[in-house]
Amino acid sequence: MQLVQSYLDKIETHIELNAFLEVWKDEALEKASELDQKITNGESLGKLFGVVVAIKDNLAYEGHKVSNSSKILEGFESLYTATAVQRLLDQDAIIIGRTNCDEFAMGASNENSAFGSVKNAVNPDLVPGGSSGGSAVAVAANMCHVALGSDTGGSIRQPAAFNGIVGLKPTYGRISRWGLLAYASSFDQIGPMTHSVEDAALLTQIMSGADGQDASMNQIGPLEIEKSSIKEKLTFSVMREAIDNPSLDPEVVSNFKALLSKLESQGHTIRYFDFPLLDSMVPTYYVLTTAEASSNLSRYSGMMYGYRSENATDLESTYTLSRTEGFGTEVKRRIMLGTFVLSSDQYDAYYEKAQKVRRVIQNETRKILENSDAILIPTTSTAAFKLGEKSKDPIAMYLADLFTVQANLAGNPAISLPLYKNLEGLPLGVQLLTKENTENDLFSISQKLMDFYV
């Protein structure tokens, strides 16, 4: 009970960060009281007994509002609970509230929410990253133990890097997407945002495992953390283009090269590789994700649930006005782009070609990982930037995903680690990618780096 109250006090203290859209104060305190009673009664306790969790506002939780930070879902209350959320509840976790995010998870700065921008936990003049910015800030500012986010092209790892925490995107299909409001179904993946690798591993283990409600899941069963047997000396693959890229901040490059030198001094092997597909990844990602978004978001019409325009007079105006008034600028932009690339006269030129490029990226990623334990790369090209700095330049914002989209295009697990800071004290993330369904190795390698470097 006291622990939950301390987090509630923290949330109140940091209300200006706008990390939470809703805090379930009474419910969280009641759940804490029930858990205290379990101790008194000598009952068995779950693996997450008393762990306070925040969930991104695109995860369903029965009897609670979920809006994807969009006006289009104004007043909507979920009728069921997402599988990932339910599995945490089954292990005695306490859900404290829902966190702000970019509308429909579309953004890299958390400035696209219908409910205002989230502010960085380290410096409130800066963006927290997106789209899971609210979850990242909630963890970084100690407003909860851990949080859940979703990652479509870096939406967990990028804000984790900007706020100095651990953020994991599991293998596609590792965690059920049932109850995750869709943006791009073949990319979206739920994952944890935590202070430690150990916590990320525990949450992933609990949330993983087959779910009959999600046909896109792999069927390999729950993650067994204890089975990893990573070798002592590792081989890391490093993309040359990620070091020489002109978009990289010099401090990102210098810190990353220092990390490589330290790893080599410890007997680890660094293998450099050329990846000419780097410049194709962001365009491929946006062609495919906007296409899927235009399909997924067609269900929001003002007819069945959510926002309906007061100015509508017939069926056509209900659809048109509800979507015009309900969706924000970035969501409209991506729906229009996705509709364009799926149109009959553009399908072959854009969507089909992007699918082919995606397959090439996936195959090349697998080849690289055949001869190494992990791909090592900066999470972002810069530290967190100022609020409003890139909001009027969609292309510059899209390029914030430059180093994170590979894992989503290929389906690999990837993690961002807070290994160092720049001269201004802002966190800089380092990203690791491993083979599909090798989260155990990813966690082991990540812990080695954390122990060695932090």
108, pLDDT greater than 80? yes
Is 67:59 a contact under the CB 8 Å cutoff? Answer: no
* pLDDT tens, position by position, 295-329: 999 999 988 889 999 999 999 999 999 999 999 99
Query: What is the predicted pLDDT for the residue at 362?
Result: 97
pLDDT of residue 246: 83
Q: Catalogue the active-site residues.
A: 56, 131, 155
Amino acid (one-letter) located at 262 = K
pLDDT (mean) for 15-33: 97
Do the Cβ atoms of 417 and 194 come closer than 8 Å?
A: no
SS3 track for the chain = CHHHHHHHHHHHHCHHHCCEEEECHHHHHHHHHHHHHHHHHCCCCCCCCCCEEEEECCECCCCCECCCCCHHHCCCECCCCCHHHHHHHCCCCEEEEEECCCHHHCCCCCCCCCCCCCCCCCCCCECCCCCCHHHHHHHHCCCCCEEEEEECCCCCHHHHHHHCCEEEECCCCCECCCCECCCCCCCCEEEEEECCHHHHHHHHHHHECCCCCCCCCCCCCCCCHHHCCCCCCCEEEEEHHHHHCCCCCHHHHHHHHHHHHHHHHCCCEEEEECCCCHHHHHHHHHHHHHHHHHHHHHHCCCCCCCCCCCCCCCHHHHHHHHHHHHCCHHHHHHHHHHHHHHCCCCCHHHHHHHHHHHHHHHHHHHHHHHCCCEEEEECCCCCCCECCCCCCCHHHHHHHHCCCHHHHHHCCCEEEEEEEECCCCCEEEEEEECCCCCHHHHHHHHHHHHHHHC
pLDDT grade, residue 229 (50/70/90)? Answer: low
User: 397: pLDDT confidence band, cut at 50, 70 and 90?
Assistant: confident
Confidence at 224, pLDDT banded by 50, 70, 90: confident
pLDDT recorded at residue 378? 96
pLDDT of residue 174: 95
pLDDT grade for 226, boundaries at 50, 70 and 90: low
**CB 172, CB 437: distance < 8 Å:** no
pLDDT bin (cut points 50, 70, 90) of residue 227 is low
How far apart (Å, rounded) are the C-alpha atoms in residues 446 and 434?
11
Residue 364, both tokens: 């090349």
**Ranges 104-113, 186-195, 237-246, 432-441: which has the least confidence:** 237-246
Name residue, tokens 């309906």. Answer: 308
pTM of the model: 0.96
pLDDT more than 90, % of the chain: 88
Residues 6+ apart with CB under 8 A from 71: 114, 307, 325, 326, 327, 328
Say whether pLDDT at 393 is over 80.
no
> Look-up: residue for tokens 């100015």?
311
pLDDT score, position 231: 83
Domains of the chain: 1-274+375-454 (3.90.1300.10)
